[in-house]
Amino acid sequence: MDLTAFAAEVATDDPVTIAGLGTRGGAVAGVRCVSAPRGIEWIQADEMTVSCGAGTPVDELSAALAAVGQRAVLPAGGTVGGALAVGRSGIRRLGDGAVRDVLLQARYVGADGVVVKAGGPTVKNVSGFDVCRLLVGSHGTIGFLGDVILRTRPIAPHAAWFAAPTDDPMAVFAAVHRPVSVLWDGTHVHVLLEGHHLDVVERAMRTGLVESDGPPPLPAARHSVRPADVVRVTAGLRSGTFVAELGMGVVHAAPDAIPPTAVDPGVAAIARRVKDGFDPTGRLNPGRAA
Amino acid sequence: MTAASATPATPTHPVSGALTAADGPVAAALRSALSDDRVRTTATELGLYRRDASNIEGSAGIVCFPTSTAEVRAAVRIAVDHGMPFVARGSGTGLAGGATPLGGALVITLTKMNRILSVDPVNRLAWVEPGVLNLDLTRAVAVHGLHFAPDPSSQQSCSIGGNLANNSGGPHCLADGVTSAHVLAAEVVMPDGDVVVLGSEGGETDGYDLRGAFVGSEGMCGIATRICVRLTQNPPDVRTMLFDFDTVEAGAQTVSAIIAAGMVPAALEMMDQLCVQAVEAYIHAGLPVDAAALLLVEVAGPVHGVADEVERIVAIAREHACRTVRVAQDEAERALIWKGRKTAFGAVARIKPNYYLHDTVVPRRALPDVLRQVYEIADRHGILVMNVFHAGDGNLHPLLVFDKREPGVLERVHAAGEEIVRVSVAAGGVLSGEHGIGLEKRDLMPLMFAPADLAAQAALRAAFDTTGLANPTKVLPSPSSCGDSHEVPEGAWI
Ligand SMILES: Cc1cc2nc3c(=O)[nH]c(=O)nc-3n(C[C@H](O)[C@H](O)[C@H](O)COP(=O)(O)OP(=O)(O)OC[C@H]3O[C@@H](n4cnc5c(N)ncnc54)[C@H](O)[C@@H]3O)c2cc1C
């Protein structure tokens, strides 16, 4: 994909912000706004890779991949660039792995308006420092994604959600073999199983799970706690007001349900140096924190 | 594009003999911070630490063996206070010169920090010290039906700290991902002496993914002193198959067809004829020594899925003119098949005393073509080449075998190796799939990266290492590494 025009738009001096479809926070208000190129460059099913502009809607990408029996591990909605820049996995992280692992190569426009390549096109690569990992979750504060190469996965032959009432969700969690997702809402566990349909059915039966309509709706805010603390932390919350991702330490609940953990000053210092190194004048998505 | 040319042979941070001497100020400070017997300065002991498992030699000024985070921190501080470069070292099995000390650096060896600190079998994670050996962790958690998924062939001897620093892979990383996907958090002694925890047990922290940036940083961003790893459930069922083919192409096309059919086997490994012959002579497993290529496929998971995939994979192999199908009938046969794969390097020693193991990745579809070029290159340089590799992810491991007593052979081995890297990158591949860049491929980085790309990598490194003393002059060629001048030790390619 030719990124010359995109780089020219990002330019070199003034504050600039980037927006996809605005589903994950969108542009910084009051700042000149650009958007990344859109479109799928190629899909290589036998390599399990896809290349597309960062402005491509995730749903458009998913539909194109589904046609060859594959998918990219990105949460639905918005653009590919937005999903990567925010870097938050959906409720399938237990089985799919994290969003950050999906990015193989990125070409982004840096603060100086120059196109930079991070990573490489192959599914395995340890050539140099892993700038791709910094880009995922950076909220557009160190570079604006232009185009990307992503890892894809085959769509499983069968998938089904199950549920069971329990007051010992960790016992269920411990008993199921490699579920894709295990959620706990205070009264029920909700389990997503994928694979050969007979395996799915047998695994569910063995654990006393019954097929259900799908996962419960997720409350507004997403909190991170230690996976081992999930049951203790949610014990203080009313059933039905939270959904916890077991094994992942993520609790979806009201914004003030769980106090945030303070960022360690040493970690904050590294983050500041990252920002200063990549965007010394602070022109990219000014005011936004990674 | 050509590789950056090397600059004069002056060490980056010339360390004065007075600093490193047995009774010098650094040794004295280390002795009081650690203990007398864990700070070594004799020529014999320093000699043992002058290189890793590559053939690139440097020179160690002092070697120390901390036993705690506090001691690692003290050692780093002492080095930095005296302007002395320091190098973290795990088991020293790295193949790119990552742990090779340059210019009399302080070697901080982590082998005595080898405790498994905690295991949470329910949430499937463990905290370990960096010196824990890869296979020891897997053995320790086997009682819980768990394992540590990255399984480098060196897993009996390499450390988790080294795995993290090199973002190592192994045959079973095809389905489950390389080390980065299995590291949730790490406690790191930063080059400035700060101790921070990057990442979290939950694995998805707010802010930059500093954990992810640290993984694969080859000892140049600080020293990991405690590591939180994800553990993986053992599969209820495993089936291991061997297919052999008359042509390498047929084997490679089988690999692509399996993936295109929507299957990601647990492992997809290939060996070429010379390699099969060497292995068979070594382990007598009844391998077909007249085949051009042997493909090992392992599928793992719940029983029905496994049975279904075995059937479909066998059918695909037959469609691609596979000659014989062997499905391991029991655990003993499976172990024998894997022994063949994992002892390939040992087997090679029976043919010639020395080998140089390469590591590049190419798109799967380019495998037949790149392999053809690899044979042609080796032929032209009069070197024997064997291939045993992770076909599933296109990760080639051409093994150049030679006898270093032959005059001029090392030059030919290096020339052939560099050409192999160049054809891999030209085919849309990358410089390294799992061994890292270190010193070995540092000056080939411009084959893959433009100056702006390298500058971004240098910025990442500089954000972690404000001292420039953490394993300096590795990975990044000189123009982008902020004025580091480059010593090119014996054995490195330039
Ligand atoms: C026969 C053989 C087979 C191999 N097979 C494979 C394979 O299949 N896959 C694969 O990926 N690799 C393989 N390797 C390479 C090697 O084993 C891996 O790179 C391994 O992870 C290195 O671990 P180590 O403990 O020996 O690290 P070392 O060699 O001691 O160090 C490697 C790098 O890590 C840094 N480091 C070490 N510990 C720390 C720490 N605690 N904090 C920060 N930095 C640190 C060092 O400075 C150095 O840059 C093989 C090597 C051999 C000899």
- Ligand 1: centre distance to CA B349 (Å): 21
**Within this chain, do residues A52 and A165 fall inside the same structural domain, yes or no?**
no
DSSP summary character for residue A241: S
Residue B345 in contact with ligand 1 by CB distance below 6 A: yes
Instruction: For residue range B300-340, list pLDDT tens digits in order.
Output: 999 999 999 999 999 999 999 999 999 999 999 999 888 88
Residue A268 has pLDDT above 80, yes or no: yes
**Within this chain, do residues B76 and B122 fall inside the same structural domain, yes or no?**
no
Between B20-29, B95-104, B252-261, B483-492, the lowest mean confidence (pLDDT) is in B483-492
Q: Which of B202, B233, B264 is the last residue of a domain?
A: B233
**Within this chain, do residues A113 and A222 fall inside the same structural domain, yes or no?**
no
Instruction: Provide, as residue numbers in chain A, all residues whose Cβ is less than 8 Å from the Cβ of B459.
Output: 274, 277-278
Domain of residue B82 covers 17-109
Shortest alpha-carbon distance between residue A144 and chain B (Å) = 13
Please report, for residues B130, B133, B137, the alpha-carbon distance to residue B115 in angstroms, rounded to integers and kept in the order given.
Answer: 8, 10, 10
What is the CATH number for A106?
3.30.465.10
> Residue B408 domain-assigned?
yes
Note whether A184 contacts B: Cβ–Cβ < 8 A. Answer: no
Residue B137 has pLDDT above 60, yes or no: yes
pLDDT score of B7 = 34
Residue B162 in contact with ligand 1 by CB distance below 6 A: yes
**Within this chain, do residues B72 and B163 fall inside the same structural domain, yes or no?**
no
- Ligand 1: centre distance to CA B164 (Å): 8
**Within this chain, do residues B341 and B358 fall inside the same structural domain, yes or no?**
no
Instruction: For residue range B101-115, list pLDDT tens digits in order.
Output: 999 999 999 999 999
Residue B61 in contact with ligand 1 by CB distance below 6 A: no
Q: Which of A154, A186, A212 is the last residue of a domain?
A: A154
Q: How far apart are CA B406 and CA B403, in angstroms?
A: 6
Residue B469 in contact with ligand 1 by CB distance below 6 A: no
Closest to A129 in 3D by CA, of B475, B208, B467, B168: B475
pLDDT score of B491 = 47
Give the residue-averaged pLDDT of A37-59.
97
Please report, for residues A143, A276, A281, B286, the alpha-carbon distance to residue A113 in angstroms, rounded to integers and kept in the order given.
Answer: 9, 16, 13, 60
Shortest alpha-carbon distance between residue A45 and chain B (Å) = 6
Q: Print burial letters for B163-191: b (CB count within 10 Å at least 16), e (below 16).
A: bbbbbbbbbbbbbbbbbbbbbbbbbbbbb
Give the residue-averaged pLDDT of B414-433.
97
Give the residue-averaged pLDDT of B61-90.
98
pTM across the whole model: 0.95
Note whether A59 contacts B: Cβ–Cβ < 8 A. Answer: no
- Distance, first Cα to last Cα, chain B: 14
Domain of residue A12 covers 4-154
DSSP B275-321: HHHHHHHHH-----TT-SEEEEEEEEESHHHHHHHHHHHHHHHHHTT
- What amino acid occupies position A285? N
Does A247 sit within 8 Å of B302, measured CB to CB? no
Give the residue-averaged pLDDT of B377-397.
95
> Residue B474 domain-assigned?
no
Q: Which of B109, B140, B174 is the last residue of a domain?
A: B109
Residue B11 has pLDDT above 80, yes or no: no
> Residue A266 domain-assigned?
no
**Within this chain, do residues A50 and A146 fall inside the same structural domain, yes or no?**
yes
Does B361 sit within 8 Å of A124, measured CB to CB? yes
Shortest alpha-carbon distance between residue B424 and chain A (Å) = 11
**Within this chain, do residues A167 and A120 fall inside the same structural domain, yes or no?**
no
Shortest alpha-carbon distance between residue A125 and chain B (Å) = 4
Dig out the tokens for A263 from the structure: 């960022």
Higher pLDDT, B205 or A214: A214
Percent of chain B with pLDDT over 90: 85
Widest pairwise Cα distance in chain A? 62
Shortest alpha-carbon distance between residue A142 and chain B (Å) = 10
Does A199 sit within 8 Å of B301, measured CB to CB? yes
Instruction: For residue range A119-173, list pLDDT tens digits in order.
Output: 999 999 999 999 999 999 999 999 999 999 999 999 999 999 999 999 999 999 9
The residues, any chain, with a CB within 8 Å of residue B448's CB and separated by 6 or more, are: A120, A127, A128, B425, B430, B431
Q: How far apart are CA B276 and CA B223, in angstroms?
A: 40
Dig out the tokens for B74 from the structure: 């003290």
3-state secondary structure of B418: helix
Residue carrying the six token digits 């709706």 = A217
H-type alpha helices, A113-159: 131-135
Please report, for residues A126, B59, B347, B383, B448, the alpha-carbon distance to residue B414 in angstroms, rounded to integers and kept in the order given.
Answer: 21, 22, 22, 11, 19
Binned at pLDDT 50, 70 and 90, residue B479 comes out as: low
**Number of domains chain B is built from:** 4
Residue B4 has pLDDT above 80, yes or no: no
> Chain B residue with minimal CA distance to A125?
B433
- What amino acid occupies position B194? D
Residue B92 in contact with ligand 1 by CB distance below 6 A: yes
Give the residue-averaged pLDDT of A88-109.
97
> Chain B residue with minimal CA distance to A152?
B262
Q: How far apart are CA B119 and CA B230, in angstroms?
A: 10
**Within this chain, do residues A85 and A227 fall inside the same structural domain, yes or no?**
no
Identity of the residue in B198, B216, B256 whose CB atom sits nearest the CB atom of A267? B198
> Residue B434 domain-assigned?
no
Residue B483 has pLDDT above 60, yes or no: no
**Within this chain, do residues B32 and B124 fall inside the same structural domain, yes or no?**
no
Closest to A153 in 3D by CA, of A213, A216, A104, A210: A104
Binned at pLDDT 50, 70 and 90, residue B341 comes out as: confident
Higher pLDDT, B140 or B488: B140
Give the residue-averaged pLDDT of B222-243.
97
> Residue A213 domain-assigned?
yes
Burial class (CB in 10 A: 0-12, 13-18, 19+), B250: buried
> Residue B467 domain-assigned?
no
- Rg of the Cα atoms in chain A: 20
Q: What angle do CA B302, B236, B391 make, to 5 degrees?
A: 75
Closest to B477 in 3D by CA, of A238, A62, A33, A127: A127
Binned at pLDDT 50, 70 and 90, residue B342 comes out as: confident
**Number of domains chain A is built from:** 2
- Ligand 1: centre distance to CA B59 (Å): 19
Does A177 sit within 8 Å of B196, measured CB to CB? no
Q: What angle do CA A64, A67, A69 make, to 5 degrees?
A: 115
**Within this chain, do residues B51 and B64 fall inside the same structural domain, yes or no?**
yes
Give the residue-averaged pLDDT of B350-355.
87
Q: Which of A154, A185, A215 is the last residue of a domain?
A: A154
Identity of the residue in A117, A199, A202 whose CB atom sits nearest the CB atom of B450? A117
> Residue A290 domain-assigned?
no
Q: How far apart are CA B277 and CA B282, in angstroms?
A: 9
What is the CATH number for B322?
3.30.70.2190
Residue carrying the six token digits 């192409």 = B249
Instruction: Note which residues in 10-29 of chain A have CB less than 8 A from chain B.
Output: none
- Are B221 and B464 in contact by the 8 Å Cβ rule? The answer is yes
> Chain A residue with minimal CA distance to B120?
A228
> Residue B171 domain-assigned?
yes
What is the CATH number for B22?
3.30.43.10
Chain A interface disruption, residue of B204, B306, B320, B435, most A CBs within 10 A? B204
